[in-house]
Structure formats: structure tokens, C-alpha cells
């Protein structure tokens, strides 16, 4: 009977209470992801001399467990639209206050 072994690796755990991503009006997502974000990973690999060792005896890469309690993704509106919304909310508040009187 042969031996049965299961390779295992380390797990890194990150716990975040609030993750908030706010983007301005007309943000260019393609530019940010395709050019800047990918370039950061390439730069980190070059700086830290990260080369993949695919030999049988090499350790497995660490797992990353991310636990986020609250995730907020916000896309800002056009400044004109923001002013319109603020004016509408003000009118609505004034109307509700006048009903109370």
C-alpha cells in the first residue's frame, strides 16, 4: 500500500469592517484596471524578484482569505445632478415641515 499525502499551504486572513470605493464622475475604469492596476502587479514582481518555481517539491502559494463585513461601492454623479438632488431634498424637507405646522 502506497503512502497518501495531501499538499497543504498557509492561509493568510484579512478581516475588514468597511471597504469603501468611491469613484468620481466619468472615471475611466478601463484605464485604471488595464494599465495602472496591472502595472502595479508587474512592478511588484520585478522589485521582489518573484519567479514561479513549478517543481514538484516547491511549496504551494499561500491562500488569501478576505472577510469584509460591509462593502460600499459608490459612483459619483454629475455635479449638476448632485445640485438638483440637493435642491429636491431641500424642497421636500420644507414641504414636510410646512405640513407639520
What predicted TM-score, i.e. pTM, was given to this entire model?
Answer: 0.50
Place of cell 440637493: 86
List, for residues 14-73, the tens digit of each pLDDT value: 999 999 988 888 888 788 778 888 888 888 888 887 676 666 666 777 888 999 999 999
CA distance linking residue 50 with residue 81, whole number of Å: 47
Three-state DSSP class for residue 9: coil
CA distance linking residue 48 with residue 57, whole number of Å: 22
All structural domains of the chain with their residue ranges = 16-55+70-100
Amino acid at each position: 500500500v502506497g503512502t497518501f499525502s495531501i499538499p497543504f499551504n498557509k492561509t493568510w486572513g484579512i478581516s475588514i469592517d468597511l471597504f469603501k470605493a468611491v469613484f468620481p464622475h466619468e472615471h475611466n475604469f478601463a484605464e485604471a484596471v488595464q494599465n495602472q492596476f496591472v502595472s502595479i502587479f508587474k512592478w511588484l514582481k520585478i522589485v521582489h524578484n518573484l519567479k514561479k518555481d513549478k517543481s514538484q517539491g516547491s511549496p504551494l502559494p499561500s491562500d488569501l482569505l478576505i472577510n469584509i463585513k460591509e462593502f460600499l461601492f459608490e459612483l459619483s454623479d454629475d455635479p449638476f445632478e448632485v445640485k438638483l438632488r440637493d435642491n429636491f431634498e431641500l424642497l421636500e424637507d420644507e414641504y414636510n415641515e410646512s405640513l407639520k405646522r
